[in-house]
């Protein structure tokens, strides 16, 4: 009896949903025609529409640069494609956005093959809407937000550029269209899951208070379910692009994530519906492809390579993870092992720390670093440049010999790219982006150095200072050639095309 009622209720909800979906699909043709006529497009039947899901498209950050660079490339190369951006920036207009993109990124967008769909329910994906269970709340919020998007317009290809993977099943179901994604950062990672797992084990083992054990078991279950559905959603995509090796490693391991118990549960009704509606696992992408965002290196890539001063330059906000103390210690080791770099003589070296200080925490850190420099008795050869202006940064980049980065496991490291483009030889911690993506050999010849401890950093400094003039110039040139080419707009467009997005139109 109860079972019958439940089945009836599920049937009712399903019927209502199907009714809604059919309604949205029926409106699709007229909505499309309206959009194309507003744009003044001729031969509307030959046009294809690519929808970009980017609710914060007016934010002006790195993620937005990727979006506009992609659209601008499509506009130049594919006159028959109309790009539509689903945005929640209801307080602005198409013309204002195009203007801002030009001013902020120097990217030219044509109004003829670009339009916007403004969404009302963006608050559903805002952090502040979900003080608890933020991940879950935002994910469900994004599903509703994309439903709103689809009621305005169903494109021919849907590309999410902001990391809302939970929208993919909704779009597949409502629009019956292919989905692709450009991912900057995984919503949840397998390392997060295993960290929660090991903490749970720890709590249970220590026979701690049972309530906290229940709490962390609950948390584990939450993460486990979240990971399961996140992987499920990602697999609905036909192609996935990522912005770095770091993100690729995470996304690849999520695509390979399995959970036999949850798989088994999904063979039972009504969950089995999910399996029936989803794409077969064998058709899903196994790995993500890297399309590095382009970096603007125009100004620094013309600095002369010769005549560099013995300056070791660090450019990093005074945040704890940047590990500025390690920079002071490395410099101290250099002076200890090679006293000739000390004092004020002709061969004396200098460490310059350029960086922003955002708050009291950062300012305190700067004071502590000054104290540490005194303690190590190297303060006369250290210069702090707090809150440097951009011209000041460029000036140091044009003079320095070595660029230093000590952060461990940095996801990327745009400062290292800038060092290299400026002709500054990079010495960076052997991990993360600087190891995997940035300081890699060109024609089997090094473009910089990696280190792990104050001793090895000091050794690398000494090596650079003792390069023969020819080797020195050659290495600076290699570093520049590599950085400018690999992180150029052309390379980004090439990688974007290699994702095969066009094949899905
Ligand atoms: C939407 O309309 C276009 C053009 O009329 C058509 O090709 C497409 O199949 C429609 N999509 C859906 C989901 O009905
Ligand atoms: C990729 O995106 C993340 C998150 O926005 C960012 O921290 C990282 O620097 C980006 N990597 C590149 C290569 O831009
Ligand atoms: C640096 O800038 C921040 C905010 O822009 C400000 O609060 C701080 O006082 C500045 N610090 C210095 C040393 O100029």
Please write the tens of the pLDDT for every residue from 436-460: 999 999 999 999 999 999 999 999 9
Distance CA 63, CA 444 (A): 32
Residue 73 in tokens: 């490339």
For residue 415, pLDDT beyond 60: yes
CA distances from 341 to 134, 428, 455 (A): 52, 20, 15
Ligand 1 neighbour 51 (Cβ under 6 A): no
**E strands, 76-189, in order:** 81-87, 114-118, 157-160, 179-183
Q: Where are the domains of the chain?
A: 2-184+492-504, 297-487
CA distances from 474 to 154, 421, 442, 470, 481 (A): 53, 13, 11, 6, 10
Cβ–Cβ under 8 Å, residues 173 and 20: no
For residue 505, pLDDT beyond 70: yes
pLDDT digits (tens, 9 = 90+) for 489-503: 999 999 999 998 999
Looking at CATH, the fold of the domain delimited by 2-184+492-504 is given as Rossmann fold (3.40.50)
Q: Which of 187, 411, 414, 438 to probe ligand 2 with, by most ligand atoms within 8 A of CB?
A: 411
Nearest to 151 by CA among 44, 31, 35, 50: 31
Give the pLDDT score at 202.
Answer: 56
Give the pLDDT score at 278.
Answer: 79
Nearest to 113 by CA among 52, 31, 28, 39: 39
Give the pLDDT score at 14.
Answer: 80
pLDDT digits (tens, 9 = 90+) for 417-438: 999 999 999 999 999 999 999 9
What does the pLDDT average to over 475-487?
A: 97
CB atoms within 10 A of CB 360: 8
Question: How would DSSP label each residue in 20-78?
Answer: HHHHHHHHHHHHHHHHHHHTT-SSGGG-EEEEEE-TTTTS-SHHHHHHHHHHHHHHHH-
For residue 400, pLDDT beyond 80: yes
Distance CA 269, CA 371 (A): 66
Using the atom order of ligand 3, give the atom closest to the CA of residue 356: 1
Using the atom order of ligand 2, give the atom closest to the CA of residue 295: 14
Ligand 1 neighbour 172 (Cβ under 6 A): no
pLDDT-derived band at 200, boundaries 50, 70, 90: low
Buried b (16+ CB within 10 A) or exposed e, 193-202: beebeeebee
Ligand 1 neighbour 28 (Cβ under 6 A): yes
Domains 2-184+492-504 and 297-487 share a fold: yes
Give the pLDDT score at 211.
Answer: 63
Place of tokens 């899951």: 193
What does the pLDDT average to over 283-303?
A: 91
Using the mean position of ligand 1's atoms as its centre, give its distance from the Cα of residue 28 in Å.
Answer: 6
Distance CA 168, CA 386 (A): 44
Residue 110 in tokens: 């044509």
pLDDT digits (tens, 9 = 90+) for 265-285: 988 887 888 888 777 777 788
CB atoms within 10 A of CB 357: 17
What does the pLDDT average to over 384-410?
A: 96
Using the atom order of ligand 3, give the atom closest to the CA of residue 386: 13
pLDDT digits (tens, 9 = 90+) for 98-127: 999 999 888 999 999 999 999 999 999 998
Query: What sign does the CA torsion over 157, 158, 161, 163 have?
Result: negative
pLDDT-derived band at 205, boundaries 50, 70, 90: very low
pLDDT digits (tens, 9 = 90+) for 251-264: 999 999 999 999 89
Whole-number mean pLDDT of the chain? 92
Compare 105 and 14 and report the one with higher pLDDT.
105
Length of the chain equals: 505
Give the pLDDT score at 210.
Answer: 55
Query: What sign does the CA torsion over 264, 267, 272, 278 have?
Result: positive
Distance CA 473, CA 466 (A): 12
Give the pLDDT score at 201.
Answer: 59
CA distances from 339 to 377, 443, 469 (A): 13, 35, 22
Using the mean position of ligand 3's atoms as its centre, give its distance from the Cα of residue 316 in Å.
Answer: 15
CA distances from 270 to 111, 165, 229, 260 (A): 46, 22, 15, 18
Pairing of strands 382-386, 402-405: unpaired
* Omega within 30 of 0 (cis) for the link into 332: no
Using the mean position of ligand 1's atoms as its centre, give its distance from the Cα of residue 155 in Å.
Answer: 8
Using the atom order of ligand 3, give the atom closest to the CA of residue 387: 1
Nearest to 336 by CA among 349, 346, 324, 323: 349
Distance CA 294, CA 244 (A): 12
Alpha helical stretches, state H, 383-441? 390-399, 414-421, 432-433
Percent with pLDDT over 70 in the chain: 97
Cβ–Cβ under 8 Å, residues 170 and 209: no
Ligand 1 neighbour 154 (Cβ under 6 A): yes
Cβ–Cβ under 8 Å, residues 218 and 384: no
Using the atom order of ligand 3, give the atom closest to the CA of residue 359: 7
Which of helix, strand or coil describes residue 193?
Answer: helix
Give the pLDDT score at 4.
Answer: 76
User: For residue 41, with 0-12 CB atoms within 10 Å meaning exposed, 13-18 middle and 19 or more buried, which class applies?
Assistant: middle
Closest residue to atom 14 of ligand 3, CA basis: 387
Distance CA 188, CA 200 (A): 18
pLDDT digits (tens, 9 = 90+) for 48-94: 999 999 999 999 888 999 999 999 999 999 999 999 999 999 999 99
Using the mean position of ligand 2's atoms as its centre, give its distance from the Cα of residue 293 in Å.
Answer: 8
What does the pLDDT average to over 360-364?
A: 95
- Among 2-6, 165-169, 192-196, the minimum mean pLDDT is found in 2-6
Percent with pLDDT over 90 in the chain: 74
Nearest to 223 by CA among 199, 252, 255, 249: 199
Give the pLDDT score at 60.
Answer: 83
User: Class for domain 297-487, per CATH?
Assistant: alpha beta
Q: Which of 317, 318, 353, 357 to probe ligand 3 with, by most ligand atoms within 8 A of CB?
A: 357
Residue 189 dihedral angles phi and psi, to the nearest 5°:
-115, 160
User: For residue 220, with 0-12 CB atoms within 10 Å meaning exposed, 13-18 middle and 19 or more buried, which class applies?
Assistant: middle
CB atoms within 10 A of CB 486: 18
Using the mean position of ligand 1's atoms as its centre, give its distance from the Cα of residue 74 in Å.
Answer: 21
- Among 92-101, 205-214, 292-301, 333-342, the minimum mean pLDDT is found in 205-214
Give the pLDDT score at 145.
Answer: 97
């Amino acid at each position: 009896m109860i079972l019958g009622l439940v089945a009836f209720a599920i049937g009712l909800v399903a019927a209502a949903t199907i009714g809604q979906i059919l309604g949205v699909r029926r409106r699709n043709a007229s909505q499309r025609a309206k959009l194309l006529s507003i744009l003044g497009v001729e031969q509307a039947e030959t046009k294809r529409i690519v929808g970009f899901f980017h609710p914060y498209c007016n934010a002006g950050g790195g993620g937005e640069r990727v979006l506009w660079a992609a659209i601008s490339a499509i506009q130049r190369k594919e006159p028959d494609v109309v790009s539509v951006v689903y945005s929640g920036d209801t307080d602005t207009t198409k013309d204002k956005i195009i203007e801002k993109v030009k001013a902020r990124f120097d990217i030219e967008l044509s109004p003829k093959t670009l339009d916007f769909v403004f969404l009302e329910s963006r608050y559903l994906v805002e952090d502040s809407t979900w003080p608890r269970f933020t991940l879950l709340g935002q994910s469900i919020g994004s599903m509703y937000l994309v439903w709103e998007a689809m009621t305005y317009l169903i494109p021919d290809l849907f590309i999410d550029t902001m990391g809302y993977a939970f929208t993919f099943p909704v779009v597949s179901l409502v629009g019956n269209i292919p989905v692709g994604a450009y991912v900057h950062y995984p919503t949840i990672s397998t390392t997060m899951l295993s960290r929660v797992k090991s903490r749970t084990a720890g709590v249970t083992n220590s026979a701690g208070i049972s309530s906290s054990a229940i709490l962390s078991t609950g948390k584990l279950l939450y993460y486990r379910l979240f990971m399961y559905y996140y992987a499920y959603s990602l697999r609905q995509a036909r192609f996935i692009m990522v912005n770095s090796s770091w993100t690729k490693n995470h996304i690849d391991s999520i695509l390979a994530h399995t959970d036999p118990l949850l798989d088994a549960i999904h063979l039972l009704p009504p969950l089995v519906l999910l399996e029936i509606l989803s794409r077969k696992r064998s058709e899903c992408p196994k790995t993500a492809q890297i399309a590095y965002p382009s970096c603007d290196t125009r100004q620094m890539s013309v600095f002369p390579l010769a005549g560099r001063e013995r300056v070791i330059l660090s450019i990093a906000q005074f945040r704890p993870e940047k590990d500025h103390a390690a920079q002071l210690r490395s410099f101290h080791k250099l002076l200890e092992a090679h006293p000739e770099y000390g004092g004020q003589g002709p061969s004396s070296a200098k460490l310059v720390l350029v960086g922003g200080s955002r708050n009291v925490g950062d300012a305190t850190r700067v004071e502590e670093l000054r104290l540490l420099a005194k303690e190590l008795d190297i303060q006369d050869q250290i210069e702090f440049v707090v809150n440097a202006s951009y011209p000041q940064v460029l000036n140091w980049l044009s003079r320095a010999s070595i660029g230093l980065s000590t952060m461990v496991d940095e996801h990327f490291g745009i400062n290292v790219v800038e060092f290299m483009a400026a002709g500054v030889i990079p010495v960076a911690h052997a991990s993360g982006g600087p190891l995997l993506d940035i300081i890699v050999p060109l024609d089997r010849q090094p473009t910089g150095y990696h280190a792990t401890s104050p001793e090895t950093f000091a050794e690398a400094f000494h090596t650079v200072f003792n390069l023969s003039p020819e080797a020195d110039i050659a290495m600076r040139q290699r570093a520049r050639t590599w950085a400018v080419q690999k992180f150029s707009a052309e390379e980004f467009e090439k990688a974007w095309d290699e994702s095969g997005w066009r094949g899905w139109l």
